[in-house]
Amino acid sequence: MKINKVEVSNFYSIKDATINFDKFKGLVLVKGKNKDTGGSNGAGKSALIESVVWGLFGKTIRKSTEDALINLYTKKACSVRITVNKDVVIERGKKPTYLRFFVGGEERTQDHALATQKVIEEHLKTNYKVFLASTVFGQQNNIEFISATPEDKRTIIKNFLNMDSVFELRDSVKQLKSSSSQTIKKQTAIIDEHDKSLNSFDKKLTVLEKLRKDVEGKYGEETLALSLKEVVLAEQANASQEWSMVGISKKMDKVDGNILRLKKRLANPSEAAPCDKCGQAVNTPYHPKRIQVEIQEQVDHKTELAAERTACLSKVKELPITSIQYHKIIEYNQLKKETETFETLKTETKQKIQEAHDIKQEYNSKYEIMRFWEKAFSEAGLVKYIIRNILTYFNGKTNFYLSHLSKGKFFIEFDQELKETVLHNGQEISYISLSGGEKRKVGLAVMLGLQQLLTLSHKSDNNLMFFDEVAENLDQDGLDGLYILLSELKKDKNLFVITHNNYLKSLMDNVKTLTITKSKGISRIQGK
């Protein structure tokens, strides 16, 4: 990220100012003149840094209130306009409050400020903490790394290493683990429910099987295969034949009576036979031959009737079951259908159980994998591993800067628990026992070492660095070393140095200057 220009209006003590950072290459000495007090403090030098920070992130280093941002004398709306990478513009203001974001002339302002700020940081690949850590060094942004607890030290390093992605992965892993756990519980519940259904089906099938065997024990396969229609039709046919046989039997009884009567006549042929119509005796006797003929006719007729009755009897079917009893057959067929239904349900349920088992097994595997990665991404896992492996780099960079600041007299090393060991001329000493100037050297070296960690994890390479009164309490060796470091760093950065130390100023006689003059509460900026 290259900051090209900042345009400031009524921000803190700065009324109107435009700083083109492209014109200030290398090392720049920021001077201050406060005509209201006759000194250099309070001229508005720090306000320049704050304008950049606030313009980018809507926050200040000194955590000022919104009202404090507005110039006390003008009391007009304040605004900061920043141009980044030549085609990115951020406009931020107070009274009225607004935030606008442009890329290549196209506005990308979102519905609300928080969303817009998120888009800005995503585009610039940086955030408030990272920017401060990599850009601002001094009293306003003093990171008390050495005096922090081991846990706080790890937090600082995590911030410098931009390990948000690691924790985002950890959170994603936790969510996936939780989701897998919920799926496993759901499938377990499904399996349990299906198992209950299977048990119910098995009990029902046992009952159905018993009923079926009871019916089959009473009736044969042929009977059970009959339909109700077949049974009814057979019953109707048998009834018809039975009625026919009753008629034939009556006729045969009549024929037998006729034969008996004729045989009586034959035994007494002289006797008069009764009139067939009135029943009275007639005088004309029957001839025996005639009577025999009539008897034979009756016998032949009886034979015909017997044959007819035999024919009827042959048409009568023997039925193993009546229509009244047929409800047992209906019950049997219903049992067969129910059995087939439950067997189908049982098969389908077994398939569902297998599917649930397969899903459960799949998510059990996922759960175990997520549990592994959750542990891996924990504080005791990957985070600790990363910190342990960057310590060599961090210690090396820190001691590179400390060697320049102390001319090799001091050495510091952080162990895996981030506990420091300080050496002075090869002898171990306590950090607490150091003087203010010595602590200043060590602290500055550590801050610069931490800043180097940013290059390991952030694609955003800021072109600016502000050193705000970092020379205070440094001895001449420290100042010489600081100037050497600044001269080295200026090869890649635009360094703006704010200092009250005259010796450091003398070392920077030939560098560019940015002068901020304050008069009647208004700061004006001039550069050369």
Q: HEC states along 274-289?
A: ECCCCCCECCCCCCHH
Query: Cα–Cα distance between 43 and 37 in angstroms, integer?
Result: 9
Could you tell me the two tokens for 104?
């290549």
Number of domains in the chain: 1
Do the domain assignments include residue 247?
A: yes
SS3 label, residue 307: helix
Q: State the pLDDT at residue 467.
A: 87
Q: By CB neighbour count within 10 A (0-12 exposed, 13-18 middle, 19+ buried), where does 65 fall?
A: exposed
Task: Tell me the backbone φ, ψ of residue 67, rounded to 5 degrees.
Answer: -65, -35
CB atoms within 10 A of CB 298: 20
Query: Cα–Cα distance between 53 and 141 in angstroms, integer?
Result: 12
Q: Count Cα atoms within 13 angstroms, Cβ side, for 28.
A: 25
Residue position matching structure tokens 């203010």:
436
Residue 269 DSSP class: T
Q: State the pLDDT at residue 110.
A: 94
Task: Tell me the backbone φ, ψ of residue 91, rounded to 5 degrees.
Answer: -120, 125
Type of residue numbered 388: R
Could you tell me the two tokens for 431?
């950090």
Do the domain assignments include residue 262?
A: yes
Cα–Cα nearest to 501, from 433, 435, 437, 448: 437
Residue 261 DSSP class: H
Do the domain assignments include residue 467?
A: no
Residues 6+ away with beta carbon under 8 Å from 220:
320
Cα–Cα nearest to 383, from 148, 131, 125, 151: 151
Count of positions (residues) in the chain: 528
Query: Cα–Cα distance between 187 and 350 in angstroms, integer?
Result: 14
Task: Give the structural domain span for 299.
Answer: 235-320
Q: State the pLDDT at residue 260.
A: 86
pLDDT profile of the chain (528 residues), mean per 10? 91 88 87 80 82 91 76 80 94 92 94 94 84 73 68 73 67 82 87 85 77 67 59 64 76 84 76 59 65 84 83 67 59 73 85 88 84 72 74 90 90 87 92 86 84 66 82 84 86 85 86 86 80
CB 95 within 8 A of CB 80: no
Q: State the pLDDT at residue 498.
A: 87
Query: Cα–Cα distance between 387 and 376 in angstroms, integer?
Result: 14
Q: State the pLDDT at residue 120.
A: 94
Query: Cα–Cα distance between 271 and 329 in angstroms, integer?
Result: 67
Which regions of 415-479 does DSSP assign to beta strands (E)?
Answer: 420-424, 427-429, 464-468
Do the domain assignments include residue 488?
A: no
Do the domain assignments include residue 289?
A: yes
Which regions of 385-452 does DSSP assign to beta strands (E)?
Answer: 410-414, 420-424, 427-429
CA distances from 490 to 20, 24, 472, 496, 497 (A): 17, 11, 20, 10, 11
Q: State the pLDDT at residue 181.
A: 86
Q: State the pLDDT at residue 316.
A: 63
Instruction: Please provide the distance, in angstroms rounded to a whole number, between the alpha carbons at the two ends of the chain.
Output: 24
Do the domain assignments include residue 208?
A: no
Threshold 0.85, pTM exceeds: no
Type of residue numbered 13: S
Q: State the pLDDT at residue 113.
A: 93
Do the domain assignments include residue 447?
A: no
Do the domain assignments include residue 279?
A: yes
